[in-house]
Amino acid sequence: MKKYPTMNNPYDADRIIGAGHSHEAAPLDDAAKDFVKQSNPEFRSIAATTAKPCNHSGSCNCAEKADAPLAESHEAMVDNVVEEAVVRAIFPNDVHRREFIRRVGQGTAASIVASVFSTQSFKAWAQEPVKSGQIEKKDLSIGFIPITCATPIIMAEPMGFYQKHGLNAKVRRASGWAMVRDWGINKEVDAAHMLSPMPLSITMGAGSPAVPYLMPAIENINGQAITLANKHKGVKSAKDMKGFRFCVPFEYSMHNYLLRYFLAEEGIDPDKDVEIRVVPPPEMVANLKAGNVDGYLAPDPFNQRAVYEKCGFLFKLTKELWEGHPCCAFAISQKFATDNPNTYKALFKSIVDATYFSSDPANRKDIAKAIAPKNYLNQPEIVLEQVLTGTYVDGITGIKKDPRRIDFDPMPWNSMAKWIMSQMVRWGQIKGDVDFDAIAKQVYLEAECEDMIESLGYQKMKPSYDKFSVMGKEFDPSDPLAYAKSFPITRAQ
Amino acid sequence: MMKKLMKNVTLDKYSPYLLSLVILGVLLLIWSSLTSVPKFNPAGLSEDDLMLMEMNGDIVRDEAGGFLNNPDKLQTIPGPGRVLDTALDELKAPFAKTGTNDHGIGLLVGYTLKRFLFGFLLASVVAVFFGIIIGSSRIIFTAFNPFIQLLKPVSPLAWMPLLLYSIKDPYWTSVFVVFMASLWPTMANTAFGVSNIKKDYLRVSSMVELSWMRQFFTVILPAAAPSIFAGIRISFGSALVAVVPAEMLLGELGVGYLSWIEWNNLDIAGVIFAIIVVGVVGFILDWGLSKLASRFTYSEA
């Protein structure tokens, strides 16, 4: 623990700080509880990872610094001022601060504050380049499903983004989402391509054992479609879809939530009026061909593949339902990130870098070429090119152009997580008593991704994402439960 | 010389094989005639239609600027020529490793064989051991029989989720799926064989005062060998059936995985090739096993 000069030690229970402060304070017990809750590593992983490697500048509170000459230097003085401000912010009422510190002890209080409000910010940590000697684990295995959503994760191997950031990462193809989930939980792979709702559901233990997962970055936005069999070319809206049999790739997927949302908006109950099955995407095309299913909401290339196989047409792109919706994501277990902070940082950097590269329309053709081979997607290049360049045959009207048909933006906005959880509640996958805010913050690393984007010299693609609409209805992230209950068709109680 | 050969070898001996060849030829002919695709004819199609078809990969331009069917796109179920092309392509570099997910066919067969033999041999040893214990006493046999009968018909793949959950390793899970597939038939047959050894054999062996060990190796094992091998043959078949879907479900590299990724690409020629590979590998293994079996078994006569 750091030594404080007696005069300005904010952890001194006998010293009075912030005299004259007139904020209203929460009662001690609540404040203390929140305090402990927030400082629990389960809730703030990045803070934990930043606090761990001990080569920081003056503000670090780790044991190694204990013998360093202190406080006399100007830097340390400034740090103390910052820390005092932090402590004051936590305990607006000084009596509570002193009582709390008396109860838990100075050292504990200081380390708790360090873990929550590490004055060594994530930003500085992100800025600092990773030296190859620091990387704990160079050879990584990253699981993926062969779809265009995973483009940045996949192309980062052949196009050298992992290498650029000092990693020797190999991508490993899985045949289904449950397989990727089990690989992740069983540590078969170090990180994985997942559907953006999966890190949330895995963290909450919905449909699997609960394992704290992090989602540092989204992969793609948009890029999905509702594909219908050619015999349904006359279908105009969801109302014509009563009795249809649909496929989605996974229960905890944007595909499932968007299809259900789309149907329910027009009064079709997705559990009663249609049948929704979970089918691995490749089998969807074959099933559509065989006339076994009427349509699906699936990731590409399997929408475009249906057109290529002349068995289906693109009824609607999901960007027409929610422009900019998240789909797939880069996910990593909290344990791996905490145990290997530098590997994690290098991996995070590679992914964000690759995502920005993928976002540029000028690179899309090359990417299609890079990920088409058998080792990756194993798909005809012409199909991938149509998906990625956005000049495509839709199978019903002709050739269409939409360069943002699929797009790539790494920002894991917390509002997205809350929308996803609201739909989990809406369809009865989880109960409504979840702490939306805490889980969104714990899993979707919004601030960290922002810093990472900056550290790479990029600009955020959207300044903020607090409000958005899905099919014209605005979502208010401050109350996801009320939102889930507000629909005429809902299972939320 | 030739005449002498012809004299010694009667046509009779070879005629079934000739017939096999004829059947193969006829099948190939039917297959290729059913799957032939007519040449692309642009008559009656507008410029826009052609553009759309080109964009969708149905047709490609030839050197002269005219249009051809896209040779890379399957219009129907692939014909024998197409499958042969795929096979030759795969066999060109059988031991190449192009990245983590694309290994040559020779390596894939190797992975599958290793997994298969590992699970199968382990199961055979365990099954024969317990089968003999169970079969050696009427009481134990009757006590254990209901369990064996209950577990025998369970599909080995039904064990997969439980195994994966408890072992937490896809490679070992796939080995144990094979293990489960080949355990019960061998065990049941061994127990049956041991319990049905002619009492005379045992009486004679105890009369000449053979030690327990000698009795076991010189009397019990040989006497039960035919039914043990019958069990192993059944196990062998069911293990071979289990190994392919286990690889598909677990994403473990092997022949089953090959057929899954070809299916993922809707490359039916590749799927047919994978089927042929599984067939050939199974045939060779079965042939080896029957050779082995004929060495260890005897006939009553």
HEC string of A409-422?
CCCCCHHHHHHHHH
Given a cut of 90, is residue B126 above it in pLDDT?
yes
**A387 and A487 Cβ atoms separated by less than 8 Å:** no
Cα Rg of chain B, angstroms:
27
Q: Which of A381-385, B194-198, B279-283 has the lowest mean pLDDT?
A: B194-198
> Distance between CA A384 and CA A399 in Å, rounded?
15
Closest residue, chain B, to A393 (C-alpha): B56
Per the structure, the complete domain to which residue B187 belongs is given by 105-296
Greater pLDDT, B208 or A26: B208
Residue in A174, A186, A283 nearest the CB of B168: A186
- What's residue A57's pLDDT? 42
Residue burial B119-142, b: 16+ Cβ < 10 Å; e: rest: bbebbbeebbebbbbbbbeeeebe
Mean pLDDT, all residues of chain B: 83
Phi, psi of B8 (to 5 degrees): -65, -40
Estimate the share of chain B in helix, then strand, then coil, as percent rounded to the nearest 5.
75, 5, 25
- From 3.30.200.20, 3.90.420.10, 3.40.50.2000, 3.40.190.10, which CATH number describes the A224-320 domain? 3.40.190.10
User: Is A181 part of the contact surface with chain B (CB cutoff 8 Å)?
Assistant: no
- What's residue B4's pLDDT? 58
The label of the residue with tokens 């609607």 reads A316
Alpha carbon of A360: minimum distance to chain B alpha carbons (Å): 22
- For residue B262, the one-letter residue type is E
User: Is A290 part of the contact surface with chain B (CB cutoff 8 Å)?
Assistant: no
Question: Could you name the CATH architecture of A133-220+326-379+405-485?
Answer: 3-Layer(aba) Sandwich (3.40)
Q: Distance of CA A463 to CAs A378, A460, A475, B36, Å?
A: 37, 6, 18, 57
Work out the average pLDDT over B61-74: 78
Q: Distance of CA A460 to CAs A411, A464, A468, B14, B177, Å?
A: 8, 9, 17, 77, 49
- What's residue A51's pLDDT? 36
Residue burial A97-119, b: 16+ Cβ < 10 Å; e: rest: bbebbeebebebbbbbbbbbbbb
Contact A373 B98 (CB under 8 A): yes
> Distance between CA A378 and CA A216 in Å, rounded?
27
Phi, psi of B185 (to 5 degrees): -60, -40
Interface of B with A (CB under 8 A): 48, 51-52, 55-58, 72-73, 98-102, 164, 168-170, 248-251, 260-261, 263-267
- What's residue A307's pLDDT? 92
* CB-based contacts of B84, cutoff 8 Å, min separation 6: none
User: Is A160 part of the contact surface with chain B (CB cutoff 8 Å)?
Assistant: no
- What's residue A48's pLDDT? 35
Q: Domain spans of chain A?
A: 6-120, 133-220+326-379+405-485, 224-320
Contact B169 A186 (CB under 8 A): yes
- Which token pair is A211? 């394992």
Phi, psi of A431 (to 5 degrees): -85, 160
Residue A477 neighbours by CB distance under 10 Å: 21
Closest residue, chain B, to A188 (C-alpha): B169
Q: A133-220+326-379+405-485 and A224-320 share one CATH topology? A: yes
Most confident listed range (A59-68, B240-249, B261-270): B240-249
Contact A171 B52 (CB under 8 A): no
Residue B144 lies in a domain: yes
> Distance between CA A122 and CA B204 in Å, rounded?
85
- pLDDT-flagged residues of chain A (< 70): 1-97, 99-100, 102-126, 132-133
Residue B202 lies in a domain: yes
Residue in A183, A187, A375 nearest the CB of B101: A375
Alpha carbon of B172: minimum distance to chain A alpha carbons (Å): 12
- What's residue B127's pLDDT? 92
* % of chain B with per-residue pLDDT over 70: 94
* CB-based contacts of B252, cutoff 8 Å, min separation 6: B111, B115, B170, B171, B174, B246
> Distance between CA A215 and CA A192 in Å, rounded?
10
- What's residue B278's pLDDT? 87
Among B109, B105, B102, B108, smallest CA distance to B265 is for B102
> Distance between CA B256 and CA B244 in Å, rounded?
4
Tell me the H-state helices in A119-168: 122-127, 151-155, 161-164
**A222 and A327 Cβ atoms separated by less than 8 Å:** yes
- What's residue A88's pLDDT? 63
> Distance between CA A223 and CA A254 in Å, rounded?
11
CB-CB neighbors (< 8 A) of B260 in chain A = 175
Q: List the beta bridge partners of residue A314.
A: A227
> Distance between CA B65 and CA B59 in Å, rounded?
12
Contact A183 B170 (CB under 8 A): yes
Alpha carbon of A474: minimum distance to chain B alpha carbons (Å): 37
Alpha carbon of B252: minimum distance to chain A alpha carbons (Å): 9
**A483 and A476 Cβ atoms separated by less than 8 Å:** yes
Q: Distance of CA A109 to CAs A69, A102, A353, A443, Å?
A: 22, 9, 38, 25
Dihedral over alpha carbons A422, A423, A427, A431 (to 10 degrees): -30
- What's residue A22's pLDDT? 39
- What's residue A260's pLDDT? 93
Say what angle helices B80-92 and B268-296 make with each other, to 10 degrees.
70
Phi, psi of B265 (to 5 degrees): -90, 5
| Residues in A 70-129 with any Cβ partner in B closer than 8 A | none
Strands B67-69 and B59-61: antiparallel
> Distance between CA A32 and CA A286 in Å, rounded?
58
> Distance between CA B128 and CA B134 in Å, rounded?
10
Contact A174 B251 (CB under 8 A): yes
Residue B1 lies in a domain: no
Residue in A171, A378, A399 nearest the CB of B261: A378
- Whether the link from the prior residue into B80 is cis, omega within 30° of 0, is no
How many structural domains comprise chain B?
1
Q: Where are the beta strands (DSSP E) in A82-146?
A: 139-144
Say what angle helices A74-90 and A94-104 make with each other, to 10 degrees.
100
Q: Residue A171: which H helix or E strand, with range?
A: strand A168-173
> Distance between CA A197 and CA A366 in Å, rounded?
29
User: Is A168 part of the contact surface with chain B (CB cutoff 8 Å)?
Assistant: no
- What's residue A344's pLDDT? 87
List the CATH number of the domain containing B224: 1.10.3720.10
Contact B168 A174 (CB under 8 A): no
Given a cut of 90, is residue B270 above it in pLDDT?
no
Q: Where are the beta strands (DSSP E) in A337-493?
A: 391-393, 399-401, 406-408, 468-470, 473-475
> Distance between CA A372 and CA B70 in Å, rounded?
17
The label of the residue with tokens 């699929």 reads A406
Q: List the beta bridge partners of residue A194.
A: A329
Apex B11 CA angle, B6 and B15, nearest 5: 145
Residue burial A338-363, b: 16+ Cβ < 10 Å; e: rest: bebbbbbbbbbbbbbbbbbbbbeeeb
Q: Summarize pLDDT for A303-345 with one digit per residue, the tens.
A: 999 999 888 999 999 999 999 899 999 988 888 888 888 888 8
- What's residue B7's pLDDT? 57
User: Is A285 part of the contact surface with chain B (CB cutoff 8 Å)?
Assistant: yes
> Distance between CA B276 and CA A307 in Å, rounded?
30
- Reduced to 3 states, what is the DSSP secondary structure of residue B15? helix
Alpha carbon of B174: minimum distance to chain A alpha carbons (Å): 13
Task: Classify residue B103 by its DSSP letter.
Answer: B
The CA-based diameter of chain B, rounded to the nearest angstrom, is: 96
In this prediction the pTM is 0.73
